[in-house]
């Protein structure tokens, strides 16, 4: 079951500049940074109103975020719903015809399991589903 808006992700070409914008100009405290090697992505998190803004940047200039920046430039990248059962939600949505970018959930930031729904299935919005570990939760 989808339980909330986990985060909104923004692809950035200059992570330090973007962190300064959100932290200093907008005054939203940076809560942490994390590299996600499975996605070749460096991330920075700004919790706000029970959700988070997540800046995403390619690790080592490669990976899916690098491809997105090359194709579409910087900007809104995806939104993420939290779920309490990612496998069940994936199966339920697949049964309705939704296409996913991977066959099964993969490790994401904060110890989550994540999977992405293809934007062609969702009216052009890349949507991630994330299940947090039972003992964990938000950072
Ligand atoms: Co995400």
Residues 6 or more apart in contact with residue 3 via CB below 8 angstroms: 81, 82, 83, 84
Q: What is the pTM of this model?
A: 0.89
H helices within 1-139, ranges in order? 15-20, 64-72, 86-95
**CA–centroid distance, residue 90 to ligand 1 (Å):** 16
The tens place of each residue's pLDDT in the chain, 139 residues long, gives 999 999 999 999 999 999 999 999 999 999 999 998 888 999 999 999 999 999 999 998 889 999 999 999 999 999 999 999 999 999 999 999 999 999 999 988 888 999 999 999 999 999 999 999 986 445 4
**CA–centroid distance, residue 49 to ligand 1 (Å):** 17
**CA–centroid distance, residue 127 to ligand 1 (Å):** 8
For each of the domains in the chain, give its residue range(s) and CATH number, in order of start.
Answer: 2-131 (3.10.180.10)
The answer to whether the CB of 24 falls within 8 A of the CB of 16 is no
Residues 6 or more apart in contact with residue 25 via CB below 8 angstroms: none
State phi, psi for 133 to the nearest 5 degrees.
-60, 150
């Amino acid at each position: 079951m989808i339980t909330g808006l986990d985060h909104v992700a923004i692809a950035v070409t200059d992570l330090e500049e973007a962190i300064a914008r959100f932290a200093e100009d907008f005054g939203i405290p940076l809560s942490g940074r994390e590299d996600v090697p499975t996605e070749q992505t460096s991330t920075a998190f700004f919790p706000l109103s029970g959700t988070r803004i997540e800046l995403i940047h390619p690790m080592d200039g490669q990976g899916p975020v690098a491809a997105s920046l090359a194709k579409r430039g910087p900007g809104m990248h995806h939104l993420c719903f939290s779920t309490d059962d990612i496998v069940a939600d994936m199966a339920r949505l697949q049964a309705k015809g939704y296409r996913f970018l991977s066959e099964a959930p993969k490790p994401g930031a904060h110890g989550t399991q994540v999977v992405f729904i293809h934007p062609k299935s969702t009216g052009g919005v890349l949507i991630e589903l994330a299940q947090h570990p039972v003992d964990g939760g938000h950072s």
